[in-house]
Amino acid sequence: MREYRVLILAFIFLAACSPSGNTQAQTTLPQPSRTPPASAAAMRISFAPVVKKAAPAVVNISSKRLVRQQVDPFWEMFGLGAPRNRIEGSLGSGVIVRPDGVIVTNNHVVEGGQQITVALADRREYPARVLLADPRTDLAVLKIDVAGLPTLAINDTGDAEVGDLVLAIGDPFGVGQTVTNGIVSALNRTADPSGDAASSYIQTDAAINPGNSGGALVDMNGDLIGINSFILSQSGTSSGVGFAIPGALVRRVVETAVGGGHTLVRPWFGARLQSVTPEMARSLGLATPSGALVADLWPGGAAARAGVRQGDVVTSVDGRPVVDAGGVGYAIGTHRVGDAVRIGLRRDGRDQTVTLRAEAAPASPAREERTIDGRNPFAGATVVNLSPAVADELGVDAFGQGVMVTKIAGGPAAAVGLQPGDIVRSVNGRRIQSVGDLVAATARPAGSWQVTIERGGQQITATFQ
């Protein structure tokens, strides 16, 4: 469809220009002139060919789950009323990426769904099962049992540029498809400045309305360059700032699901990174505040073995500049384990390149997930040993160590205010370094409990009777 892009640009150029025989300087601004379309073909310029190619592969997804609704506590005190079951539902969009019924959508569209139905563009409906769901990337892969379906080709080259025309296609409410047009307004938007980003979004001003989550962002070739994920809006409606998960990550998730994987394994750089600030750029002698400073290295990790040093500034991955620490994490995460990745560095005022062998984050110490019971402040809390692999899964600092609370199921843990993400540091003066330490520290009853946790980088100590 490149010819359509050329025709659009030519038409804009012709409409903006007009002949003039006056070559002398003007004292007032020239009035804009208008010219009629140069030909009948120019009058018929349309996105219709792109839509006809892409729209048949965009589907509606409905997800339902049964939830237990509690009664009002006031009536419960008098023994009146009983918990009721009710059905919650959500609607979103999806994209067929394989003719055998493989569909990609957002994880939040199907999360917790017990009954998922896919409605095709021709209104046929099929039950779907989840092959893979990844909350960190907010992507899920579904499968319906039907063959010969229309598909969208995934463009994972990452060659989109700011200003490129794009279409956002979705099927948000089950009543028909919507198509909006706009441009790529920004690239490499990362949500996590710590370098642990799971995605680096394409930003677009094409309207993405509620229910369009999981729909397609397509280029003028009719190829899928991103999965529409969320918007920034104070009103809840589209305000021209929407974000799509790039095709490179979409392909990785689909390949993993089709290959039988249930979890996306993201290669890990093996270093703690800090986004370069203007102050850092001045002190490091950098022309612009761009890139990521290597603040720490994981011993024996991929970065250390590749020759990366503490104090280096990562400036590019595979020859493409990186803006911040999140961009480095995303660029490496789109590779497969075992791939060779070229890392551009700025060291001692000189540019150099090293080759890193992509590998998964180490899972040491072992996860050892356990729910604490008994009569202690942690009863009802599920905890795990922190390792880089667990940290990557949970989206926390990969260099953190200790025991992390991952879930609260009520009981004393909820009553004392423990929260998922808390790191247990000590119990009654005993240092906690593993789940085994915590189990041993809470095994015997005590008259009082002095607990120290780390939350949001701050240590909190409290005593419970």
Specify whether 179 is located in the same domain as 253: yes
Specify whether 169 is located in the same domain as 240: yes
In a domain, 325, yes or no: yes
Specify whether 377 is located in the same domain as 349: no
In a domain, 214, yes or no: yes
Q: How far apart are CA 405 and CA 419, in angstroms?
A: 7
Q: What CATH number is associated with residue 345? A: 2.30.42.10
In a domain, 36, yes or no: no
Q: Provide the sign of the torsion angle of the four alpha carbons 224, 140, 385, 462, taken in this order.
A: positive
Adjacent-strand bridge partners of 128: 116
The separation between the first and the last C-alpha atoms of the chain, rounded to the nearest angstrom, is 71
**Which residue, 357, 382, 407, sits at the end of a domain?**
357
Single-letter amino acid code for the residue at 360: A
CB 1 within 8 A of CB 222: yes
Domain that holds residue 76: 54-143
Question: How many residues would you count in the chain?
Answer: 465
Q: What residues are annotated to the active site?
A: 108, 138, 213
Alpha helices in 234-387 (DSSP H): 247-258, 278-284, 302-306, 325-333
**Which residue, 110, 143, 176, sits at the end of a domain?**
143
Specify whether 299 is located in the same domain as 337: yes
**DSSP secondary structure string for all residues of 177-209:** -EEEEEEEEEEEEES-TTS--S-EEEEE-S---
Count of domains in the chain?
A: 4
Specify whether 184 is located in the same domain as 224: yes
In a domain, 31, yes or no: no
Q: What CATH number is associated with residue 177? A: 2.40.10.10
Tokens of 347: 């060291």
This prediction has a pTM of: 0.76
Adjacent-strand bridge partners of 347: 350
In a domain, 16, yes or no: no
In a domain, 427, yes or no: yes
Specify whether 136 is located in the same domain as 218: no
In a domain, 8, yes or no: no
Specify whether 285 is located in the same domain as 332: yes
Q: What CATH number is associated with residue 58? A: 2.40.10.120
Tokens of 309: 């040093």
User: pLDDT 10s per residue in the chain (465 long)?
Assistant: 444 443 333 334 334 444 443 433 344 445 555 566 677 666 567 889 999 999 999 999 998 765 555 555 555 555 555 555 555 556 899 999 999 999 999 999 998 888 899 999 998 999 999 999 998 889 999 999 999 999 999 999 888 999 999 999 998 776 788 999 999 999 888 754 444 556 789 999 998 877 888 999 999 999 999 999 988 766 666 667 899 999 999 999 999 999 999 888 889 999 999 999 999 999 888 889 999 999 999 999 999 999 999 999 999 999 999 988 988 988 998 999 999 999 999 999 899 999 999 999 998 899 999 999 989 999 999 999 999 999 888 878 888 888 999 999 888 899 899 999 999 999 999 999 999 999 999 988 888 899 999 998 889 999 987
Specify whether 313 is located in the same domain as 341: yes
Q: How far apart are CA 192 and CA 199, in angstroms?
A: 9
- Exposed e or buried b per residue across 368-407, where buried means at least 16 C-beta atoms within 10 angstroms of its C-beta: eebebeeebbbbbbbbbbbbbbbbbbbebbbeeebbbbbe
In a domain, 153, yes or no: no
Q: What is the 3-state secondary structure (H, E, C) of 230-279?
A: EECCCCCCCCCCEEEEEHHHHHHHHHHHHCCCCCCCCECCCEEEEECCHH
Specify whether 205 is located in the same domain as 289: no
Specify whether 408 is located in the same domain as 453: yes
CB 226 within 8 A of CB 215: no
The helix or strand, by DSSP H or E, that contains position 289, with its residue range, turns out to be: none
**Which residue, 203, 237, 258, sits at the end of a domain?**
258
Specify whether 400 is located in the same domain as 350: no
Q: Is the peptide bond before 365 cis (omega within 30 degrees of 0)?
A: yes
Specify whether 253 is located in the same domain as 275: no
